[in-house]
Amino acid sequence: MRCSLRRSVWAVMAFALLGFFLRMFTEENEDPLLEEKKHLAWLLVQRQLNANGHLTPFQELSNNSALLNLSFHYLAGAPPPVKKLLTVGLSSVRRPRGSYLLDTLGSVFQSSSAAELRDALVVVHLADPDPRWARRTAAAVAGRFASQLLAGQLLLVRAPPAAYPPLRGLKRNFGDAADRVAFRSKQNVDYAFLVSCAANLSRYFLMIEDDVRCARGFLTAVRRAIEAHRDTPWVTLEFSKLGYIGKLYRASDLPRLARFLLLFYQEMPCDWLLDHFRLLLAQKDPIRLSPSLFQHVGTYSSFRGTINELKDDEYHDGGGVAANPLATFHTDMTAYDGFAPERAYAPGDGFFWGHPVLAGSHLTVVFLRPARVRRLRVATGTAQEKKDRLRAGRVELGRRLDGEGRDCSDYRPLGPLLDGQLAWEEPASGGGREVRCVRLVALREQRDWLIVRHLDVWTEDAER
């Protein structure tokens, strides 16, 4: 009788847990992935019930301090003596048609200054089961990046193959072939081990792939995004629209992320699991920052060597991170629902959204101190469509403030917007232009509202 009652209690608890996840996954609007999310929630409950019908504490998955009981082999480098700000982590396996790993690491280090790298660490998980490949690859990396290894900026690790769960006879979800299921399941485990290894190395962890190119100054862009979102309860910040490239996590979440990936390693691809992990930790909407900081450059996939020409159309190697000097903002348009002009100027994914757009309507940025401007970029409209772009407009620069000190008295045109965009750079020998104001002006009326996604300024002093 007691056994039956106990099982009834566990069943009620299990279905209560299931109901909690289903309510969290359900949105007011119809979700095309709702059935998949329900399936994942159900699996979570099923995995929590062991063979005897007892509920395994969900705390095991949520425990911040519970690292995987796994001994990593350090192939080159050593863990830092004190935690750094950021770990950039990637997992790499042997590819049938050549490797991009050395070029990716070269891009990481060449795109970063010495000051940026002082508080960063790159961790590479060499995850191929062939130990000879791991040794050869480690030797190649050590030969090319010896200075980074000696400086404590690079660490090569390998998880023992015996630690991997079964990779044969797995469930054939989504109609995938058996070898595809095995490949993506192993990939989930590769990244589970990587994030577990990185949990105690830094305060934040940035996940990339082994075939990417990095925007110059990406480490500073990530740091600024962290600062900009310090009051936001985020789980994941995204710096690319592709797969699991450019996903940023707090290190305190990595142990539970590792366990989550292991728990569902055979259920679905890694990028889908990462989306579910974000939802489970109650971040409903993605926070994706634009422009993207990483571009996928691999042509041949690590799975069967098939051609993969996927590109991020929002990637922009802006020649370093915009300085955007301290400024005040003025516009004669009405900002919609808090989408103020400064949101287009601040780091992150914010934007200005205003109306009406009449001939002469403007958005003006007034620097608190004069700046020598070397580069400038303005992007209007949505990223996916051309809606709400400035259809006829130009950018003007002012040098002297007027009598009230709130605007400039002299403006000279810098150039027109083409398809709602402008990208300008002073020649290397020019030395920059002394600027006090930047003004975006509409040249004619338009019925659409105006979205300004970016108004970015690079200064001479910031690039020295």
CATH of 73-296, one of 3.30.530.20, 3.30.420.140, 3.40.50.300, 3.90.550.10: 3.90.550.10
Give the pLDDT confidence of 23-77 residue by residue, as tens digits: 444 444 445 455 555 455 445 544 443 433 333 333 344 444 456 777 888 999 9
What is 327-463's CATH number, 3.30.1380.20, 3.40.50.720, 2.60.120.260, 3.30.200.20? 2.60.120.260
Cβ atoms within 10 Å of 356's Cβ, excluding its own: 15
Model pLDDT for residues 272-297, shown as the tens digit of each residue: 888 889 988 889 888 888 778 898 88
Evaluate if residue 95 carries a pLDDT over 90: no
Encoded tokens for 423: 């990208």
What number of other Cβ atoms are within 10 A of residue 108's Cβ?
Answer: 25
Cα dihedral 292→296→297→303 (10° resolution): 180
Predicted TM-score (pTM) of the model is: 0.66
The answer to whether 354 and 331 have CB atoms below 8 angstroms apart is yes
- Give the pLDDT of residue 319: 53
What average pLDDT does range 341-351 have in this prediction?
81
Q: Return the top range by mean pLDDT from 98-102, 401-405, 434-438, 458-462.
A: 434-438
| Rounded mean pLDDT, 86-103 | 89
